[in-house]
Structure 1
Amino acid sequence: MSGTISHNSRIENESSYPFFSVVIATYNRAELLTRALNSLLNQTETSWEVLIVDDGSTDDTYSRVLPFLKPYPGVKYIRKSHSGFLLSRNTGIKASCGKYITFLDSDDEYDPVHLESRKVYLQKNPEVKFLYGGAKILGNPYVPDKDDPSVKIRLDECMISGTFIVERELLLSLGGFRDIMLAADYDLYERIRDSKVSMAEIKLPTYIYHHENPDSLTNKIIL
């Protein structure tokens, strides 16, 4: 696969583009990626596209994705040179066409009602431009504090970026994620907050966060 994006920018007819664009940035997580994709295909909500951004994987990621591409037009694959998790997310953001952009890390999964529950909330509260929260933690419930690694904090007290749902135009206007070493997710949260748009937290724990493995993606949580 080439490094080009094979998906057009936002579709002009608003009725024809999806409610959600789900961005999955992945690197050498072929087996776990299959689980994440199956959880997306099992959603009760059907108005979505998924942009799988392969950050130059050297494993069999593409062969695992291939069976999903032809049967499911909403599944799109982008391969790029290895540049890191945040820049890969930004690639997916730029290629998206949904009204709202959200994320699914390749080692996590969605409860079947995850997207439906968020859509119901957003339709009832159309002023909300940024929705976050509602994760179920599996595995080790603690992570090191970003400011003092000797201190352990509970994951359920952290902001998990996989739960972020952001209006596409807002996210594009902010330039997506900044490529910084620490707290990139909280940096985005602060920029959204400082933009003075309406934002809300949802408690329903339908984003399933796997923290069983020590190599779990490190950029997806922040206090």
Structure 2
Amino acid sequence: MGNGNTPLVSVLLPTYRRPQLLPRAIRSVLAQTFQDWELLVVDDASGDRTWQVMRAWAKKDSRIRIFRQAHGGGFRAYATAFRRARGRYIALLNDDDAYLPRHVERRVEYFHEHPGVDFVFGFVHLVGPRSARYLPDATKPGKLIHVNRCHHGITFFMNRRAAKVAFGTARHHRVGDLSIVQDCRRAGLTVRRLTRDYHRTVMYYRNHVSSVTHRWRRQLGV
């Protein structure tokens, strides 16, 4: 457990113009079986009713902390949240995805059982059409890759040492989640991919029109 008012886990949640989806992500954190957390939600200058939605949720639970920033993208919003995070461990979440109830519990459990590990990531439960199982391969332009061979930021869970490496450079917003994993490995940190179904505790929604995958499929006509 954390010490006093310091939570053990900080969940970082950027959001941009998804006021209708954001509550699902927030509710999934509130529903965690492990409750020693704080949730930092950062509005990336949405300019719609997103901030009002955030304020309403923050009034319901003091562990929800809300911030605004000038428009800079999701990675910069994660970095903004991390600078204010107090937890020993850092977890990431997107505004259009959700945790299963035991996600944080099982990540904390893994770190306690493997004290030499700095950073973990893993598989997701895909919610969406069969065609959404394949995504553009960031390392091979024009190629596709299965959704569970990708490095999904929403599955990332790390200690503060890894988080300082992950969010210590502004270039990741151009490269994606894979570069965070690569930088942590280059820094000599211990990174593990969790492949057991026991650790598949994130819902990856790709069945709504604002998702990245939906836009990509529409452009390609698939």
Q: Distance in 1 between matches of 2:185 and 2:105?
A: 25
Check if 1:195 corresponds to 2:190.
no
Find the partner of 2:159 among 167, 178, 182.
167
How far, CA to CA, are the matches of 1:125 and 1:212 in structure 2?
35
8 Å Cα contact 1:56-1:79 kept in structure 2: yes
1:124 corresponds to: 113
Q: What's the secondary structure of 2:60's corresponding residue?
A: coil
Aligned-residue CA RMSD (Å): 1.9
1:114 to 2:103 alignment: yes
Q: Per residue, is there more helix in 1 or in 2?
A: 2
How many residue pairs end up in the alignment?
A: 206
| Separation (CA, whole Å) in 1 of partners of 2:32 and 2:180 | 27
Structure 2, gaps ≥5 residues long: 214-222
Q: Is the 8 A contact 1:135 1:209 kept in 2?
A: yes
Distance of 2:97 and 2:160 partners within structure 1 = 22
Provide the residue aligned with 1:210 in structure 2: 205
- Cα distance, 1:24 vs structure 2: 0.5
* Deviation, structure 1 residue 182: 4.1
* 2:192 counterpart SS class: strand
Whether contact under 8 Å (1:146, 1:182) holds in the other structure is no
Could you list the runs of 5+ residues in structure 1 that have no partner in the other structure? 1-12, 219-223
Post-superposition CA distance 1:151-175 (Å, at most 9, x none): 2221111110111111113322554
Give the letter aligned to residue 89 of structure 1: Y
- TM-score, normalised to structure 1's length? 0.85
What's the counterpart of residue 218 of structure 2? Answer: none
- Conserved 8 A contact 1:32-1:106: yes
